[in-house]
Structure 1
Amino acid sequence: MAVRIRLARGGAKKRPYYRIVAADSRSPRDGRFLEKLGTYNPLLPGDAEQRVTLNEPRIRHWLEQGAQVSDRVARFLDRAGITSNTVHHKGTGKRAAEIAAKKAAAEAEANA
């Protein structure tokens, strides 16, 4: 079973509230999950303490068991210091092209 740490949406229409959960990767986004690992409330200000709450020991347990992390949750874990350098930038827009160009330039300097 492939376990993934990801967000499960809750809340009312236009009032999102997310649970950070460990779930089987094949289960629906808001469906069955194995364990609740934290919460994310995007309606709170960015510096609010309750915006993102994490159960660090259980997250570390699931990571040790080989759980994969979604991009958004990876950002939360990086910011909390649980993981490092796991942020993935996806996209095909102008910003993604700039990021790819910077990364290629940095690698070229490192190899030179």
Structure 2
Amino acid sequence: MVTIRLARGGSKKRPFYNIVVTDSRNARDGRFIEKIGFFNPIARGQDEKLRLDLDRIKHWVNTGAQQSVRVAQLVKQAQQAA
């Protein structure tokens, strides 16, 4: 099953997440089909906290991809901000 989820990056104690489309059987930080955004939970000042390509998310959801719970929350947040 294709899923849209977070892949962790960054360093210890400073998380940074890429939002990726991947097969659900792949490892969390493993191979992915497409990168469609990022989420920086500890952004400060002028740093960008969230960037999503909403058109691509809509495309993948229409083709049957499942969003993780956290990604669904982030998409909702991005739609309200737009």
Q: TM-score, normalization: structure 2?
A: 0.89
**CA distance 1:49–1:79, shift in 2 (3 Å):** farther
Letter in 2 for 1:6: R
The residue that corresponds to 1:43 in the other structure is: 42
Q: Which has the higher contact order (CA 8 A, sep 6+)?
A: 2
| Unaligned 5+ runs, structure 2 | none
Q: Please state if 1:10 is matched with 2:19.
A: no
Greater share of strand residues, 1 or 2?
Answer: 2
Letter in 2 for 1:57: D
Give per-residue Cα distances to partners, 1:58-110, cap 9 Å, x unaligned: 1111011010000100001112228xxxxxxxxxxxxxxxxxxxxxxxxxxxx
| Unaligned 5+ runs, structure 1 | 83-112
3-state DSSP of counterpart to 1:30: coil
State the shift of 1:13 in Å: 0.7
Letter in 2 for 1:51: K
Distance 2:28 2:18 in 1: 11
State the shift of 1:49 in Å: 6.9
The residue that corresponds to 2:21 in the other structure is: 22
Give per-residue Cα distances to partners, 1:14-36, cap 9 Å, x unaligned: 11110000000000000000000
State the shift of 1:44 in Å: 1.0
Runs (4 or more) in structure 1 with deviation over 6 Å come to none
Give 1:92-103 correspondences, 5 Å limit: none
Q: What's the % identity of the aligned pairs? A: 51
Residues paired across the two proteins, number: 80
Distance 2:61 2:46 in 1: 26
RMSD: 1.8
Greater share of helix residues, 1 or 2?
Answer: 1
Q: TM-score, normalization: structure 1?
A: 0.66
